[in-house]
Amino acid sequence: MSDLNFYLVHVVTTAEHDRNDVDQVLNDATDWYRFAKNEWLVVAPNTTPWEEKLMQFTKPEGELFICQLDVTYRSGWMAEGLWQWIIKYDASARKQNRG
């Protein structure tokens, strides 16, 4: 899985779209985990054009932010499911006890 990257994706859709539209696009990823109303963690190859795929749901008055993440250092208090999801895709996470 070394060719996979983690991404933080924040999307606020326009009125004619909703999170289900975003979910459908993110289904093209290896996997994703929605951890807040408008935020997803996504695991996918670095060649996926997320901005192109998601922009249609956000213009003109929505929001779109995509950022590649390095999950090597992580801390916080989140649902156990999130930590397990990270461990599933990140070898360095398997060596740490989080949650």
The one-character DSSP state at 96 is S
What string of pLDDT tens digits covers the 99 residues of the chain?
458 899 999 999 999 999 999 999 999 999 999 999 999 999 999 888 999 999 999 999 999 999 999 998 889 999 999 999 999 998 765 555 444
Determine the 3-state secondary structure of 6 from DSSP. Answer: strand
If you ran DSSP here, which 8-state letter would residue 16 be given?
T
Q: Which pTM value belongs to this model?
A: 0.87
pLDDT at position 99 is 47
Separation CA 30–CA 49 (nearest Å):
14
Give the pLDDT confidence score for residue 94 in this predicted structure. 53
Residues 6+ apart with CB under 8 A from 1: 30, 89, 91
Task: Enumerate residues 6+ apart whose C-beta is below 8 A from 70.
Answer: 6
3-class DSSP state for residue 71? coil
CA distance 89 to 44: 10
Number of other CB atoms surrounding residue 50 within 10 Å: 19
Domains and CATH numbers, the chain: 4-94 (3.30.70)
